[in-house]
A and B are shown apart, each in its own frame.
Chain A
């Protein structure tokens, strides 16, 4: 065998697994077609959040007077897409170089090319045969391609968005999930006319109904047109035909639901109904010694879970006993305000017949939120009535995506509302809303 571990795909699942494998002393190689860091680093998590940050700042700059800053001529403010892109590229390049460095530092061999799965623990990279005791497929996913009927439309994939020189006026975003909402809001923040077409009945599937209701309302306030349960049929004369409506469209952004990026395999890989690679609880495929992690296994579609899966699989290969709890992980939306959710939704709790309690606290009563001028939002904590175990947390707040980490920590150690209430939180902070929600669950919030 050439390697102990061969990893295909250098996204957050693959590259983290590779570093971990190197750290535990496995002879490791990673095959990547194009981008170190994968979608996450190159046209997903990182760059989209970078441009969102620019857009948020652009929007906030219009209200600087409220904070006592004079001299800004709001009429003269403009959003420079190319500078925004350059800033984003600088960040991704720096991070990509960092990943490269870490791979080298941990003795991981980087092989550039397209991989094909052979038989008997072998992989062909551009016809060169490589053998490895363990093979990990981490090829990721991409949004489902637009219908052929829309071939004439100005379609932008996330990957190609960053090669546009300018952003036109009328934007249509298709998709049902977090990234579609984020992108719709991005274009709106830079003053474009935006329509979000949720082309299935699974709009924001997996989020709590309470959050879905909030987001739907927020889209209306933001003046983003939302079309649910419909799909663009045709593109004629600069207009999309959607369920009898004609919508002006200069750019059609594809944030559709994701499909696995599969690789060729001599022995067919068993797939799920939805076309992802079928794996055991240990992420092993139907082929012995061949694992699939990250989006391609369809078990989750977020980078942080993919990385956790990668570490878990390497531990398993190395014989290090570790647990994988794939149920408790944050789902973040980098909108304005941010939205974060972890654990069970209220629907799921009801379905399980658990006797539960909801404790809530609004940001409008939080000092730091007022200071920052971000009083929109709240925390909502769902706990079981018997022992007070925190089952789910939902936060709407300017920094919700960072704040949710506190919930991750106490939920991963099966914390209860008593623990939350007894944890001293610094004042003034937005995180004090955790304390309040804890008190609200145990007895009564102090400041409510």
Chain B
């Protein structure tokens, strides 16, 4: 069975892309998720991963050629897939693949409960390995469950006051006092247009993930004293290093992007600036410094933002970090992240530049002390040895909780990262 993979619509309204580099050639075996081609659009430079396992039967277009959305990119020979299964495979929807699925301009989503990680639909991938072990089912009375369903309340968010913390009717009513009234009241009447104007507004219930994001974002904004600082770093050295090793590691099925380098640089900088790897505990009048380095990575998924964590990133090589990022990113897209993989981040990176954006003011992944936003790499004139030359500039945006991190410290931390990125050998040395 052969499967033709068309250049997918990756959002942002783009209609076409330029082939920058082919990672695969005819006859090469590919796995689902493996980068096929590097595409450049007017907003993003991105790797397009394979949607299927199989062997490349053909590639369409040469480097530098423009491909329109919906036009064929590759043809994949899928082994062991025949007949009806093949038809089903071929017809299965393909989700837009983007390098690391970049990020949003925002930080958080740590603990949102099971539903946030594995929202309702199963999108065709149902008969894979058994679902990750669910969190302990919250204790609730049958009535409380019925009410929560009816009122569209995530019962996991409700604090139970019954025996053993069981959620009761009263708890639901306390959680959602406005819904106490039993008579349904037609709300938003003022927004309704005359029927002749048609449906100008659509109301949709919030998904669990959206609710969790909303809650965490506002929690961060209300509790942390946000302050941002912006910097640029010329990364030609880093680019050449990456170029050199990328192909080697691609053969080993590892996508070597810029992000693992930035993770490494950040961890090294955090080691020297512990204020950034800390949290403040006002209740007990103390600082909590973390002596471990768990780097959270913001990942944009169709359902919304998720932020899995690279545990003990200081003990991983750049290569291992790259593999970890790929694994977490794949899991995020397949909605297979476990709570364990989302917990206990100490600092967050958000790679919005992979989608688009130069500077941002990222929202801190509360209660962490900082978040580093990575913008899109741009070629622009820079002054080098008193000459104006073309530089590859990576814009960085750092938001810190000003309660914890002073301006000077934020800048020193940033300088440290800039140093590592402009001279990558240094970060390997340390």
Chain A interfacial positions (CB closer than 8 Å to B): 323, 355, 386-389, 413-416, 418-419
**A419 CB → nearest B CB, Å:** 5
Given A386-B182, A387-B150: A414 and B144 within 8 A (CB)?
Answer: yes
Are B182 and A416 within 8 A (Cβ)?
A: no
Beyond A323-B161, A414-B168, A415-B143, 20 additional pairs, beta carbon < 8 A: A355-B182, A387-B143, A387-B146, A387-B147, A387-B150, A389-B143, A389-B146, A389-B169, A413-B141, A413-B142, A413-B166, A414-B142, A414-B144, A414-B169, A415-B141, A415-B142, A416-B142, A416-B143, A418-B142, A419-B142
Are B146 and A323 within 8 A (Cβ)?
A: no
Given A415-B142, A418-B142: A323 and B182 within 8 A (CB)?
Answer: no
B162 within 8 A of A: yes
* CB-nearest residue of chain A to B162: A323
Binary interface encoding of chain B residues 133-176 relative to chain A, with 1 for a CB under 8 A from any of its CBs, else 0: 00000000111101100100000000001110010110000000
What separation, in Å, do the CA atoms of A414 and B173 have in the docked complex?
14
* CB-nearest residue of chain B to A390: B143
Q: List 13 A-B contacts (CB under 8 A).
A: A323-B161, A323-B162, A387-B147, A387-B150, A413-B141, A413-B142, A413-B166, A414-B141, A414-B144, A414-B168, A416-B143, A416-B146, A418-B142
**A322 CB → nearest B CB, Å:** 8
What separation, in Å, do the CA atoms of A418 and B141 have in the docked complex?
12
What separation, in Å, do the CA atoms of A386 and B182 have in the docked complex?
9
What separation, in Å, do the CA atoms of A387 and B143 have in the docked complex?
7
What separation, in Å, do the CA atoms of A353 and B362 have in the docked complex?
51
What chain A residues lie within 8 Å of B163 (beta carbons)? Answer: 323
**A52 CB → nearest B CB, Å:** 35
What separation, in Å, do the CA atoms of A323 and B170 have in the docked complex?
12
What chain A residues lie within 8 Å of B161 (beta carbons)? Answer: 323
Given A323-B161, A323-B162: A388 and B146 within 8 A (CB)?
Answer: yes
What chain B residues lie within 8 Å of A415 (beta carbons)? Answer: 141-143
What separation, in Å, do the CA atoms of A355 and B162 have in the docked complex?
26
What chain A residues lie within 8 Å of B142 (beta carbons)? Answer: 413-416, 418-419
What chain B residues lie within 8 Å of A355 (beta carbons)? Answer: 182
**A418 CB → nearest B CB, Å:** 7
What chain B residues lie within 8 Å of A416 (beta carbons)? Answer: 142-143, 146
Instruction: Give 4 closest A-B pairs by Cβ, nearest first.
Output: A414-B141, A414-B143, A387-B146, A389-B143
**B141 CB → nearest A CB, Å:** 3
* CB-nearest residue of chain B to A353: B182
**A435 CB → nearest B CB, Å:** 16
What separation, in Å, do the CA atoms of A386 and B162 have in the docked complex?
22
* CB-nearest residue of chain B to A388: B146
A323, A414, A418: residue with the most chain B Cβ atoms closer than 10 Å: A414
What separation, in Å, do the CA atoms of A355 and B183 have in the docked complex?
11
What separation, in Å, do the CA atoms of A373 and B143 have in the docked complex?
37
What chain A residues lie within 8 Å of B141 (beta carbons)? Answer: 413-415
What separation, in Å, do the CA atoms of A389 and B166 have in the docked complex?
17
**A35 CB → nearest B CB, Å:** 34
* CB-nearest residue of chain B to A387: B146
What separation, in Å, do the CA atoms of A388 and B161 have in the docked complex?
22
**B131 CB → nearest A CB, Å:** 24
What chain B residues lie within 8 Å of A389 (beta carbons)? Answer: 143, 146, 169
**B18 CB → nearest A CB, Å:** 58
What chain A residues lie within 8 Å of B182 (beta carbons)? Answer: 355, 386
What chain B residues lie within 8 Å of A413 (beta carbons)? Answer: 141-142, 166
**B144 CB → nearest A CB, Å:** 6
A355, A389, A413, A418: residue with the most chain B Cβ atoms closer than 10 Å: A413
What chain B residues lie within 8 Å of A388 (beta carbons)? Answer: 146
What separation, in Å, do the CA atoms of A272 and B210 have in the docked complex?
53
What chain B residues lie within 8 Å of A386 (beta carbons)? Answer: 150, 182
Binary interface encoding of chain B residues 370-408 relative to chain A, with 1 for a CB under 8 A from any of its CBs, else 0: 000000000000000000000000000000000000000
**A397 CB → nearest B CB, Å:** 25
What chain A residues lie within 8 Å of B150 (beta carbons)? Answer: 386-387
What chain A residues lie within 8 Å of B144 (beta carbons)? Answer: 414
What separation, in Å, do the CA atoms of A366 and B303 have in the docked complex?
53
What separation, in Å, do the CA atoms of A415 and B169 have in the docked complex?
11
Q: Which of B229-268 contact A (CB under 8 A)?
A: none
B142, B144, B168: residue with the most chain A Cβ atoms closer than 10 Å: B142
* CB-nearest residue of chain A to B143: A414
